[in-house]
Structure 1
Amino acid sequence: MTPDPGSTPAHRKRRHIDVCLTEAVEYQTVTTGLERYQLPYNALTQTDLDTVDLATEFLGVRLRAPVLIGSMTGGAELAGIINRNLAAAAQQLGVGMMLGSQRVMIDDTRTAASFEVRDVAPDILLIGNIGMAQLDPAATPELEAALAKVGANALAVHTNPLQEAMQHHGDTDFSGSITRLREVTGSIGYPVLLKEVGHGIGAAAAAELLECPIAALDVAGAGGTSWARVEQFVRYGEVRYPALAEWGIPTAQALTEVRRLLPDVALVASGGIRTGMDAAKALAMGATAVAVARPLLAPAIESVDAVVDWLDRFIDELLVCLHGCGAQNLAALRSRGVTRLD
């Protein structure tokens, strides 16, 4: 693969933002699979829409709705603006937020300010982030210090072998990563959430986690943003390997497979979750919460209010979905389940 001219990590983070704003980075042929499921409608619902309750607890923090702002960015100056607007919106709405990868912050402490949001979001569930390829038990104290500096409640470990393979000078050695994950999860002083970046965690990966003490897992399925596509735009200015850009486990399939193998692990559904109906279906299929990222990128550059407006519509639709299927709360929604259409 022909390399790009090379860049600093901060420059690459800025290129990620630019590409996600201007290029066709979503899957072109693969969908989330959620369209194959239907939420049961109940014309004789006995709920009052004004009292439908979306509250839940996730990673030890109470959320007013089962929604997380997904991992996006950090390191570049614009990333700091984005993260602060996202965090302030999360504070206003009572939802959670995942930070972008803190690797750049650990490597270059001058970028730390782009991750620091506690002054505008003192109460939210804030989840730090590091890559599986960079996970090293010997560096746990350094990682804990980075999490403490931003005031994180938990740590997300993202596993992204396909993205890294597409990236110029990406970290492509994942050998021993499961052992390192077990060691770090068992010793670090934070609950750990394992996540993909949009190509999905399915049955094969979930089977490796049966003895791993993770607190939660984000399936991050295919059907939304393809990071194999993003990295090709960053590296080549075009998609040279379209088959790789369309590779992944659709979100609905990933959620079903992981829930079956890990029935007691809290699950986040992300990857193409774009509407309240998408969220309702995922929650009815066993997700504890859902996460949304790319649709919030442009609003986050604009203002806090723009992020709040987008999330308000999303959460309002989720409320109506519960009301329309006769579910007073999330537990009732999960008991309703979904119907497969094919």
Structure 2
Amino acid sequence: MREAGRDNQLHKDQDFQGVGEHLLPEVPTGERKIEHVRLCLNEDVNAQGITAGFESYRFRHAALPELDFADVQLNTMFLGQELRTPFLISSMTGGSGATGKINERLAAVAEARGWAFGVGSIRAAVEKEELAASFSMRKFAPTIPIIANLGAVQLNYGFGKEACQRAVDIAGASMLVLHLNGLQEIFQPEGNTNFSGLLKKIEKLCGELSVPVGVKEVGWGIDGETAARLYDAGVSFVDVAGAGGTSWVQVEKFRNEDMMKKAAAEAFVDWGISTAECITEVRQMNPGKAVIGSGGLTSGVDAAKAIALGADLVGFGRSLLGAAVESEEALHQRLHQVEFELRTAMFGVGAPRPTDLQGTKRLIRTIK
């Protein structure tokens, strides 16, 4: 799937030794980024008792789609920029040599296939210049949208316009997303838990920064009312990042030595709002606003349902991580499969473009 003549921008596979099961280097507890990747690859950190919600919907098959499959196209627009696909590689990692190599691979393959790309939280690089290279991805992805990422809570811990602009500059980003991860911060040994007064600070930042600012959850979902408050504050897009995929409470459970918190984490294994519910509610309450649907998506059919429910872009995260660690070719194949599945679903309902898929009457809810 490699483009002909494309420079070999990625490290050779042997350079990825030290990443993955039995491969990630042993590191001090403080090196969270490598720990997070190892845990996401090797431990059961999925939410339990709640799904992303897409199994509650089915498409009514169109036996006569009046389409040539070759004419089904994935091109879309997002915040005024044309993309070759309606896909986003969601924010995952960075902040170390090994995770920086994962980012390089993700960025280069996203560029080759026309996916948008989000880097993991850049806070570490804003605070420590020597970590910036693991987030500096524009040289690997010169044309696609790159989304820089910081925790919104850092606005209560000394970060302002300058730090946020620094994050954008490090990533060479087209936009910034502020993530809301309150429950993770509570269970994280190093967590920052003062989430008070953030909306006004987000509003101020939206008026100051040189690029569009969005807000995302990390796996517990954003409801329609919260999204409306964010849009009213000047946020350009919302990524619902709903429940049904990775639970970051479960990830932090493996890192936390506080036995009470380890036990308490089990009470939150099914916490959150399903991704399908989030997309539906955010779209219904905020017509015309930019919405990203992510959280627990595993296939192009899931993506088709997310778009039909109202998402403009759909994000994939941990379901790509194993392929990203394995090899460049494995990641190409994984993304190609997702694209093929979406195009096939679009053909199956007679939708030649993602805009034709949005709001289609051929998506029906089968489980109430």
TM-score range, shorter chain: over 0.9
Comparing 207-216 with 107-116, greater Cα deviation is found at: 207-216
For normalisation by structure 2, the TM-score amounts to 0.88
Q: 1:212 aligns with which of 218, 222, 233?
A: 233
Alignment coverage as a number of residue pairs: 335
Q: CA deviation at 1:253?
A: 0.9
For normalisation by structure 1, the TM-score amounts to 0.94
1:285 aligned onto 2:309 = yes
SS in 1 for 2:108: helix
Alignment of 1:102-141 (within 5 A): 102-135=122-155, 139-141=160-162
Which segments of structure 1 move beyond 3 Å, counting only runs of 4 or more? 236-239
Q: 2:212 aligns with which of 191, 206, 226?
A: 191
Whether the 8 Å CA contact 2:149–2:167 is kept in 1: the answer is no
Aligned twin of 2:325: 301
> CA-to-partner distance for each residue in 1:292-340, whole Å, 9 max, x for gaps?
0101112212222211110100110000000000111112111424211
> CA-to-partner distance for each residue in 1:153-174, whole Å, 9 max, x for gaps?
0001101111111101201000
Q: 2:91 aligns with which of 68, 71, 77?
A: 71
Quote the Cα distance in structure 1 between the aligned partners of 2:366 and 2:257.
40
Aligned twin of 1:153: 174
Q: 1:230 aligns with which of 251, 254, 258?
A: 251
Aligned twin of 1:60: 80
Alpha-carbon distance change, 96 to 339 in structure 1, aligned in 2, over 3 angstroms: same
1:24 aligned onto 2:36 = no
> CA-to-partner distance for each residue in 1:124-152, whole Å, 9 max, x for gaps?
11000011101269621232123123210
Aligned twin of 2:121: 101
Alpha-carbon distance change, 32 to 119 in structure 1, aligned in 2, over 3 angstroms: same
- Which blocks of at least 5 consecutive residues in structure 1 are unaligned? 1-5
Quote the Cα distance in structure 2 between the aligned partners of 1:56 and 1:267.
13
SS in 2 for 1:224: coil
Quote the Cα distance in structure 1 between the aligned partners of 2:317 and 2:278.
18
Aligned twin of 2:366: 341
Q: CA deviation at 1:61?
A: 2.5
Q: CA deviation at 1:237?
A: 9.7
Aligned twin of 1:86: 106
Alpha-carbon distance change, 177 to 318 in structure 1, aligned in 2, over 3 angstroms: same
Identity of aligned residues (%): 40
Aligned twin of 1:3: none
Aligned twin of 2:65: 45
Aligned twin of 2:339: 315
- Which blocks of at least 5 consecutive residues in structure 2 are unaligned? 1-27
Comparing 301-310 with 223-232, greater Cα deviation is found at: 301-310
SS in 1 for 2:107: helix
